[in-house]
Amino acid sequence: MNAPLILRHEAPHHVEIATGEGALLWRYVYAPATPANESPRPYAHPVCSLSGDVLTNFRPNDHPWHHGLSMTLTSVAGVNFWGGPSNRPADGYQWRDDHGVQLHRSWIALEPAGLEETLAWCEPKTGRELLHERRVLATTLVPGGWSLCWTSELRNVSGIELALGNYTANGGLAGSHYTGLQFRGARDLLDEHGDATIGIRAEGGRNGEPEVHGVAARWMEWACQHDGSMRRTRIRFENPSGPLPWFVRPASPLAAFAFHREHPQPLATGATLRLEHLLSFTTP
Amino acid identity of 66?
A: H
User: What is the CB-side half-sphere exposure of residue 246 using CA atoms within 13 A?
Assistant: 32
In this structure, are strands 24-29 and 43-47 parallel, antiparallel, or unpaired? antiparallel
Residue 154: alpha-carbon gap to chain centroid: 15
CATH code for position 255:
2.70.98
Residue 278: alpha-carbon gap to chain centroid: 11
Distance CA 236, CA 131 (A): 29
pLDDT of residue 1: 42
Task: Check: CB of residue 163 under 8 Å from CB of residue 75.
Answer: yes
Q: Residue 129: in which H helix or E strand, if any?
A: strand 129-142
**Which of the residues in the chain have pLDDT under 70?**
1-3
Q: Which SS3 state, helix, strand or coil, does residue 62 take?
A: coil
Q: Which SS3 state, helix, strand or coil, does residue 168 take?
A: helix
Let me know if residue 1 belongs to a domain.
no
Let me know if residue 87 belongs to a domain.
yes
Let me know if residue 118 belongs to a domain.
yes
Task: Check: CB of residue 21 under 8 Å from CB of residue 3.
Answer: yes
pLDDT of residue 179: 98
Show the domain range for 54. 6-282
Task: Check: CB of residue 255 under 8 Å from CB of residue 220.
Answer: yes
pLDDT of residue 251: 92
Sorted by sequence, the CB contacts under 8 Å of residue 228 that are 6+ apart come out as none
Sign of CA dihedral 138, 59, 208, 152: positive
The tens digit of pLDDT for each residue in 40-76 reads 999 999 999 999 999 999 999 999 999 999 999 999 9
pTM for this prediction: 0.97
The count of structural domains within the chain is 1
